[in-house]
Amino acid sequence: MGGVRKKKGAGTSIVTNPESRVLAVGEGFETMLTVATAHQYQINVRSYVNAGNLAKADILKSDFDKVIIYADHDKFDPIRNYRPGTHYAQQLARRLMEMGFKVEIRLPDVEKTDWADVWMSATNQLGNITNTLLTRCIQQKSDHPFLVIDQMLKEKKLL
């Protein structure tokens, strides 16, 4: 998605929670809105316009201790010899780790999907999962709602 001026690491804040030292980042507003919903708006969430801009994300160490990168599971690009979503997420992860951040990359299992696709698929199969998901995350002390969704799908034998 092009713009009038080139973005250089600037993201759009979706959730600002001053009580949290965790930041979730990824490409695409819809994807990161899904991530914010899955985390019940308890962590900071930013959206970057594309994978290349995500790799340049301007994140201050003074504001966060941990960054969770929600990468897209893009199709392999034979010309560039990499999957763009994964490639740029790894670039960002390396840079952030050098700065002293704890970093985790989360990648959907299915090729050509992002986390919004995962959420839509799960909600279509499980119905309104928000309350159940929140309860499970609290019970399991999990900060990875999409792993909890996978467990719920397996329990219902939908995976």
- What digits encode the pLDDT tens for the residues 72-107? 999 999 999 999 999 999 999 999 999 999 999 999
30 has pLDDT over 80: yes
- What digits encode the pLDDT tens for the residues 45-55? 999 988 989 99
Helix, strand, coil shares of the chain as percentages rounded to 5? 40, 20, 40
- Decide: 146 and 115 in contact? Cβ < 8 Å: yes
Top mean pLDDT of 50-54, 61-65, 142-146 is at 61-65
4 has pLDDT over 60: no
**Residue from 114, 119, 103, 33 nearest 69 by CA:** 103
Q: What is the predicted pLDDT for the residue at 159?
A: 46
In this prediction, residues 60-68 reach a mean pLDDT of 96
17 has pLDDT over 90: yes
Q: What is the predicted pLDDT for the residue at 138?
A: 75
Confidence of residue 18 (pLDDT cuts 50, 70, 90): very high
Kindly report the average pLDDT of the chain as a whole number. 87
DSSP 2: -
Q: Taking the domain 12-114, which CATH number applies?
A: 3.40.50.920
Q: What is the predicted pLDDT for the residue at 6?
A: 56
